[in-house]
């Protein structure tokens, strides 16, 4: 029997009403497992681990990503697959972060959660949980079919670092706008085999390190110099994501270009990501992005914000030579971007 490690971090899936009945608070893993006796019919050996204090995923921090990476690494040899139960709010961030921290992955790491707690009649948690476990246990010729970090939610399996939460209400809460779904669950589970990730590395290595000294500057018409300068001058900041318009465009006002240019000259890594979910940054396509390219802003192609933030934190933590860091940022390390 294949062995799957279920790691519980918290989130709506396991929440119950607080004592005053007014808010939802994380509860324990036994409560979740007790609601799904069918798991016993899957012919898988399920083991479980719970964070000592399950959390709402809005409280997730890079330290939690490191803990998850270490749990997976220390159980990697003994387990055939991993399932992480996680709140949906920052699920795409954790999935992206783990995809970078787990290099040379040859086993499935599937994350899931739910929009309604598992104890509720109309809950989406049961299906999400059961199918996610099934996916984590799928093998062909004794080799895991999924060998990457993926998110399963509402009948679809997505590449983790391509995914974003798009709805606070619908059961179909996630999308991966720039990459096809990896599998769809109906009567059968239809795998989109040609789109599954296969690592170019021979060896599995865990790299639980993130440097959170980064910022995000979202462009809007009317943005003021004082606001831009405030974010460019945050003490200790090493990287900045510039969330631009369309295919990577921003105002051409001289004060703006000059402020960004002098920050780059001081060593700040500036990564250009689009505010549009679909499509890619193409610096130089319009006059409004040509100056960004000229001053050394790095084009982030079709990275999601979640993948951009976690990739930048991951690469900065490894203290690479600036040219190598820039090269890695624009390279497709774990299937997270489409290289032009
Ligand atoms: N606030 C919850 C969380 O992310 C929402 C959810 O789980 O869907 O933990």
- Cβ < 6 A, ligand 1 pocket: 10-12, 56-58, 87-89, 113, 115
Q: What are phi and psi of 319, to 5 degrees?
A: 45, 55
In this predicted model, what pLDDT tens digit does every residue of 290-317 receive, in sequence order? Answer: 999 999 999 999 999 999 999 999 999 9
Same domain (yes/no): 117, 197: yes
The predicted structure's pLDDT at residue 214: 98
Summarize the confidence of residues 12-24 as an average pLDDT: 85
When divided into structural domains, the chain yields a total of 2
Quote the domain boundaries for residue 320. Answer: 214-329
Same domain (yes/no): 226, 194: no
Domain boundary among 156, 190, 206: 206
In this predicted model, what pLDDT tens digit does every residue of 165-193 receive, in sequence order? Answer: 999 999 999 999 999 999 999 999 999 99
Q: What is the CATH number of the domain that holds 271?
A: 3.40.50.40
Residue 117 lies in a domain: yes
Span from the CA of 14 to the centroid of ligand 1 (angstroms): 10
Domain boundary among 138, 172, 206: 206
In this predicted model, what pLDDT tens digit does every residue of 232-285 receive, in sequence order? Answer: 999 999 999 999 999 999 999 999 999 999 999 999 999 999 999 999 999 999
Residue 229 lies in a domain: yes
Q: What is the CATH number of the domain that holds 51?
A: 3.40.50.1170
Torsion of CA 11, 12, 13, 16, to 10 degrees: 110
Burial class of residue 37, CB neighbours in 10 A (0-12, 13-18, 19+): exposed
Span from the CA of 253 to the centroid of ligand 1 (angstroms): 40
Write out the E strands in 125-238: 139-140, 143-144, 149-153, 156-159, 164-165, 174-175, 183-185, 189-191, 205-206, 214-218
Q: Give the number of the atom of ligand 1 that is nearest the alpha carbon of residue 173.
A: 8
Cβ atoms of 303 and 275 closer than 8 Å = no
Same domain (yes/no): 124, 145: yes
Span from the CA of 70 to the centroid of ligand 1 (angstroms): 23
Q: What is the DSSP letter of 245?
A: B
């Amino acid at each position: 029997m294949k062995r799957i490690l279920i790691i519980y971090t918290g989130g709506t899936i396991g929440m119950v009403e607080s004592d005053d009945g007014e808010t939802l608070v994380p509860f324990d893993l036994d409560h979740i497992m007790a609601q799904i006796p069918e798991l016993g019919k899957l012919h898988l050996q399920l083991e479980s681990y719970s964070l000592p204090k399950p959390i709402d995923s809005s409280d997730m921090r890079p330290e939690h990503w490191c803990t998850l990476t270490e749990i997976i690494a220390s159980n990697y040899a003994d387990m055939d697959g991993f399932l992480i139960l996680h709140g949906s709010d920052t699920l795409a961030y954790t999935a992206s972060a783990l995809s970078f921290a787990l290099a040379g992955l040859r086993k499935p790491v599937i994350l899931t959660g739910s929009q309604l707690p598992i104890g509720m009649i109309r809950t989406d948690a049961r299906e999400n949980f059961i199918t996610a476990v099934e996916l984590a246990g799928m093998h062909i010729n004794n080799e895991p079919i999924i060998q990457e970090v993926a998110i399963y939610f509402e009948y679809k399996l997505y590449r983790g670092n391509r995914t974003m939460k798009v709805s606070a209400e619908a059961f179909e809460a996630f999308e991966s706008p720039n990459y096809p779904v990896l599998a769809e669950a109906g009567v059968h589970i239809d795998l989109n085999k040609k789109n599954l990730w296969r690592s170019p590395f021979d060896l599995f290595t865990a790299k639980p390190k993130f440097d959170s000294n980064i910022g995000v500057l979202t462009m809007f018409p009317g943005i003021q110099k004082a606001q831009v300068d405030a974010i460019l001058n945050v003490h200790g900041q090493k990287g900045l994501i510039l969330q631009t318009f369309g295919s990577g465009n921003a105002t051409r006002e001289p004060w703006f270009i000059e402020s960004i240019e002098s920050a780059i000259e001081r060593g700040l890594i500036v990564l250009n990501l689009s505010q549009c979910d679909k499509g890619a940054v193409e610096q130089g396509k319009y006059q409004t992005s040509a100056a960004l390219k000229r001053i050394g802003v790095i084009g982030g192609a079709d990275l999601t914000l979640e993948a951009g933030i976690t990739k930048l934190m991951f690469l900065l933590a490894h203290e690479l030579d600036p040219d190598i860091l820039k090269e890695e940022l624009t390279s497709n390390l774990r299937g997270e971007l489409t290289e032009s």
